[in-house]
Amino acid sequence: MAPTSRASALLAACAVLALTGCGNIEPWVKPYERQAFADPIMSFDPHPISSSYMHHVFEAREGARGALGSAGGGCGCN
Amino acid sequence: MFANPSMPEPNDQSRCTSFWHALFVSACLLTALLALTWSQRAPAAVLPEDRADVLYHRYEGGGVTIHGPSVLVRKKMAEKYSVSASYYVDMVTSASIDVEVSGASEYKEERTQYGLGFDYLRGKTTYSLGYTNSDENDYEAETFSFNIAQDLFGDLTTISMGFSRGWDVVRNVTDPTFEEDIDRWSYRVGVTQILTKTLIANLGYEVITDEGYLNNPYRSFRYKNPTNEQLFLLEREIYPRTRTSNAVALNAKYYLPYRAALSGGYRYFTDTWGIEADTFEIGYSHPIGPWTLEFAYRYYSQDRADFYSDLFERRDQQNFMARDKELATFSSHRVRLGGTYEFAPAGIGFIKKGSASLFYDRIEFDYEDFRDARYSMDVSAENFVPAGEEPFYRFGANVIQAFISIWF
């Protein structure tokens, strides 16, 4: 199986497994125990304007792309 | 032209397989999303805060300087709707190695990008629409995107999926009759999971397909000069007209007991041009009084595209020929240092709080099969090196971002 197919199959399996028990999952971290996630330093993207720019910087100079958020079109980087 | 049997063309079968896998995953998640949207009514998800950012960015490296402003504004309405608008400019001055090797002189150009976004929150579901338009004198790009995100399992889990469609127009300033199109499609799914009281992780997967004129109309590949093999000649690159890529990324963030955050991430990338890439990132944020200091390190490495070569044997060696260093084998290291200073924490007038940030990134690129062809351009030069024996190219770049953010 190609690496991409493996990745897709793994993701599909995770999604199906995650969804099979939709009905009775008890949240194991209660709402009152989540104060750490309310702290701005725990945001995955605390500075959207900066991360969007850095994605563009890398995408214009690397072959890889995607799975990191959108950086828009165009280039101006040759 | 002659096909080179050792250079496979992009594999249609694997592209289709990846596409159907992505579609299957998307369909599973969409079904689940819709079912859950209708079955759960408790309010939970929130829209992003009202915020305005003004940023100045500057990139300098490899003979290229790019700088300009960027603005992002977001505003909620009735706690159900949110609109955002963005503006971004790249002012480019370029005398890159590609420009020098082609014999051209330094050029200047400008790219302007506008973006609009709209979010609608209903229960635990957020629907988002986006539009961006990018314009420069020889390139136009338009993108529409749609995303849906759903909180699940007592809000420990957020699943999301999205689709984007883009249309680009490629032109050439030296040839007014030249005009080509690119169609782009992107499909993505993601899961964000609170794992413990202090650990959160995100898994994302994205498939992107492009179809059309994927070359840079100015860039050339080089091949050995048949009359003197110490020299090279240039010819316009020839790319396949399709490309499909797959990327899967896992990111996590951990809250340290003394109020600091540690983050880590990995992305695996592969595409039908034969490029495989790995990206590793770690980061650390540490608040001290009104300051938050940040440190980050990123390592990236990739293998070359199947049809990339630094120096082709002859002009018609194979169907597709490229010498874009973006398609070469290389690695890069990035180190970031930065800080954010929070001001007016109690608010002033309509401003709830504000912050000023300064980030500096140093990036080092090391190429393993892209040589510095400037050494073999002039046989009479003192530092002349024959084509194919030049040192490998490497360069460093400095990236600076300074921005002000206000919450209102």
Domain assignment present for A13 = no
pLDDT at position B79 is: 86
Q: How many Å separate Cα B2 from the centre of its chain?
A: 34
Is residue B189 over pLDDT 70? yes
pLDDT at position B115 is: 97
| Across B43-47, B96-100, B226-230, least confident range | B43-47
Q: Which has the higher per-residue pLDDT, A1 or B132?
A: B132
Instruction: Check if B326 contacts A (Cβ < 8 Å).
Output: yes
Structural domain boundaries, residue A49:
35-63
pLDDT at position A6 is: 59
Nearest to B359 by CA among B18, B60, B55: B55
Over range B296-323, report the average pLDDT: 96
Model confidence at B46, pLDDT cuts 50, 70, 90, reads confident
Q: What is the ipTM of this complex?
A: 0.88
Q: How far B326 CA sits from the closest chain A CA (Å)?
A: 5
A 15-54 residues inside an 8 A Cβ radius of B = 15-16, 18-19, 22, 25-29, 31, 33-34, 36-37, 39, 41-42, 44, 46-50, 52-54
pLDDT at position B5 is: 35
Q: Do A29 and B196 touch (CB under 8 A)?
A: yes
Is residue B283 over pLDDT 90? yes
Q: How many CA atoms lie within 13 A of B58 on its CB side?
A: 9
- Nearest chain B alpha carbon to A19: B32
- Provide the 3-class DSSP secondary structure of residue B324: coil
Domain assignment present for A20 = no
Element (H, E) at B87: strand B81-94
Q: How far B258 CA sits from the closest chain A CA (Å)?
A: 11
pLDDT tens digits along B331-377: 999 999 999 999 988 889 899 999 999 999 999 999 999 999 999 99
Q: How far B204 CA sits from the closest chain A CA (Å)?
A: 6
Q: How far A55 CA sits from the closest chain B CA (Å)?
A: 12
Q: Which has the higher per-residue pLDDT, B391 or B31?
A: B391
Q: Do A67 and B29 touch (CB under 8 A)?
A: no
pLDDT at position A22 is: 52
Model confidence at A68, pLDDT cuts 50, 70, 90, reads confident
- Provide the 3-class DSSP secondary structure of residue B404: strand
pLDDT at position B37 is: 38
Query: Which residues does chain A have within 8 Å of residue B88's beta carbon, measured at their own beta carbons?
Result: 53, 72
Q: Do A66 and B247 touch (CB under 8 A)?
A: yes
Number of domains, chain A: 1
Most confident of A21-30, A65-74, B5-14, B117-126: B117-126
Q: What percent of chain A has pLDDT over 90?
A: 40
Domain assignment present for A56 = yes
Query: Which residues does chain A have within 8 Å of residue B154's beta carbon, measured at their own beta carbons?
Result: 25-27, 31
B 153-192 residues inside an 8 A Cβ radius of A = 153-157, 159, 164, 166, 168, 184, 186, 188-189, 191-192
Angle between helices A3-20 and B12-39 (to 10 degrees): 10
> What sign results for the dihedral spanned by CA atoms A45, B53, B300, B185?
positive
Over range B275-302, report the average pLDDT: 97
Of B98, B152, B208, the CB nearest to A78: B98
CATH number for the region B12-44+123-407 comes to 2.40.160
Is residue A44 over pLDDT 80? yes
Count CB neighbours of B394 within 10 A.
15
Over range A40-67, report the average pLDDT: 94
pLDDT tens digits along B203-231: 999 999 999 999 999 999 999 999 998 99
Structure tokens at A35: 């104060």
Is residue B290 over pLDDT 80? yes
Question: Any bridge partners for residue B170, and if so which?
Answer: B139, B180
Q: Look over chain B and give the mean of its residue pLDDT values, rounded to a whole number.
A: 90
Structure tokens at A4: 């991409």
